[in-house]
Amino acid sequence: MNNFVILSDILQTETTASAYVEQSMLWASKEYLSLTIESEEQIVFEDGASSRLEVFHAKYNEVTEEHLIMQTARICGKKVYLLTLGLENDTVVDNYSKYKAILSTFSCK
């Protein structure tokens, strides 16, 4: 069930990537049937830019099973990218660092 989704949008107001992730989590908490944050930490991209990385479990509705999700954002000029990695629910915490490394490779061109 591992998948990687990148959504992009044009920023209407100036913000940081960390603040964008925080706002995204507020919106998400209203959309999911359940949402449990496992961890919040800083992620540093390969070029030195940083953001907030959220690791959480979420359930869309009564029918779907809960999913483990890692999410961060990257701002490139006026464009923001919301990077979401869906993982197997039984992914062990010791393996999170390899997925964080994948997310940290996202760069602006």
The pair of structure tokens assigned to 73 is: 């954002």
- Structure pTM? 0.91
The CB-side HSE value for 104 (13 A sphere, CA atoms) comes to: 16
Q: 2, 85 in Cβ contact below 8 A?
A: yes
pLDDT for 106: 96
Per-residue model confidence as pLDDT tens digits over 75-103? 999 999 999 999 988 888 888 999 999 99
Please determine, for residue 2, whether its predicted confidence score (pLDDT) is greater than 90: no
The CB-side HSE value for 73 (13 A sphere, CA atoms) comes to: 25
Per-residue model confidence as pLDDT tens digits over 30-77? 888 999 999 999 999 999 999 999 999 999 889 988 999 999 999 999
Mapping DSSP to helix (H, G, I), strand (E, B) and coil, where does residue 69 land?
Answer: strand
